[in-house]
Chains A and B, each alone.
Chain A
Amino acid sequence: MYAFLWRHLPGPVYVKVLVALIVAAVIVVLLFGWIFPWVEPLMPFSGNTVSQ
């Protein structure tokens, strides 16, 4: 999978490394900003209130 992605990144090696790092950073930002906050309430460890 990663070999396939690497082959399809454009340009010389340093551009490939740069693009890969930027993509990884964007994915981490997406995870922390949107995906994890969305997943969190579905997990069974954040109840603090008494309710029915």
Chain B
Amino acid sequence: MWAERTRTTIRSLGEILITLGVVLFLFCAYQLFYTNVVADEAMKSEVSDLHKQWAEPPAARSAAPAADPFDTADSQGHSGTAFAILHIPRLGDKSIPVLQGTTLDLLGRGVGHYKDSALPGQIGNFAVAGHRKTHGEPFRYLDEMRAGDLIVVETAQTWYTYREDRDPFIVEPTDLGVVAPVPNEPGEKPSQKLITLTTCNPWWASTQRMIVIGTLIAERPRAQGEPPALTVNAPKFQ
């Protein structure tokens, strides 16, 4: 009887450990595959919603003022609203929606705009955060970008083309200076139109942040079609 009970206890313990192993395996599958499937779908639908919204005649748009993410008194915008599309020719043809705000739940639907940073094309620093791994991993290969690469931001009215100033670099996760209007000089009055991309580094860990910075070099009304940065055969990774 005693031996029988011991055997049952040990067997149950083994079964529980095997079950935990299976659950951990499922968690890996969730992180590695499932989040990407969900996020890719969400990004595609955000991008097609934006295109639909931008294609509407201006009259229809003004009839629905809530569609403008920055139409609020404090200009902070409604968190979670997509308002621009990021194109990085070096990383492929993917269209990455830019959402207002940088909370984790938003980063599964695109990249997030630091709420207090400038808007695309404005004087100041247009700062954006995105996933390096999992959840669509829009900035997976950010380390492959090089000084001189072009970054295009598509908005309702305009194409903004930025040029990367220097190769990607690494900072501490607490280094707020990189998203300041004048990078590394918080409180200074900006005079340049900059873009900053932040993501985690290394892959699978977030002990550091990888940063790409660029300066606005061209603006083009939306009506004139895609800017040269997207139509010429830019150097590509992959």
Type the 1/0 row for B72-116, where 1 means its CB is closer than 8 Å to any CB of A.
000000000000000000000000000000101001000010100
Closest-by-CB residue of A relative to B205 is A45
Q: Do residues B206 and A44 form an inter-chain contact, with CB atoms below 8 A?
A: yes
Interface string of A1-40 (1 = CB under 8 A from B): 1111000000000000000000000001001100010011
Interface membership of B228, Cβ < 8 A:
no
Inter-chain contact A48/B200, CB cutoff 8 Å: yes
C-alpha gap A1/B20 in the complex (Å): 13
Complex: how many Å from CA A27 to CA B102? 31
Instruction: Please report which residues of chain B, range 17-47, place their CB below 8 angstroms from some CB of chain A when the two chains form the complex.
Output: 23, 26-27, 30-31, 34
Residues in chain B near residue A40, CB distance under 8 A: 31, 104
Residues of A within 8 A of B104 (CB): 40-41, 46
Interface residues, chain B, CB within 8 Å of chain A? 11-12, 15-16, 23, 26-27, 30-31, 34, 102, 104, 107, 112, 114, 129-135, 139, 171, 173-176, 178-179, 198-200, 204-206, 209
When the two chains form the complex, which single residue of B132, B133, B173 contacts A51, counting CB atoms closer than 8 Å?
B173
Across chains A and B, which 10 residue pairs bring their CB atoms closest together, nearest first?
Answer: A47-B206, A1-B12, A49-B129, A36-B30, A1-B15, A48-B129, A49-B102, A48-B200, A48-B199, A41-B104
Q: Which residue of A lies closest to B211 (CB)?
A: A50
- Also in contact, A48 and B198, with CB within 8 A (given A1-B12, A1-B16, A32-B34): yes
Interface residue tally on A, bucketed by range: 20 to 34
Specify which chain A residues have a CB less than 8 angstroms from the CB of B176 in the assembled complex: 50-52
Do B130 and A48 touch across chains, with their CB atoms under 8 A apart? yes
Q: With A1-B15, A31-B26 in contact, do A49 and B114 touch (Cβ < 8 Å)?
A: yes
Which chain A positions have C-beta within 8 A of B132? 48
B101 vs chain A, min Cβ distance (A): 10
The answer to whether A48 and B30 touch across the interface, beta carbons within 8 angstroms, is no
Instruction: Give the distance to chain A from B79, nearest Cβ to Cβ, in Å.
Output: 14
Q: Which residue of B lies closest to A31 (CB)?
A: B26
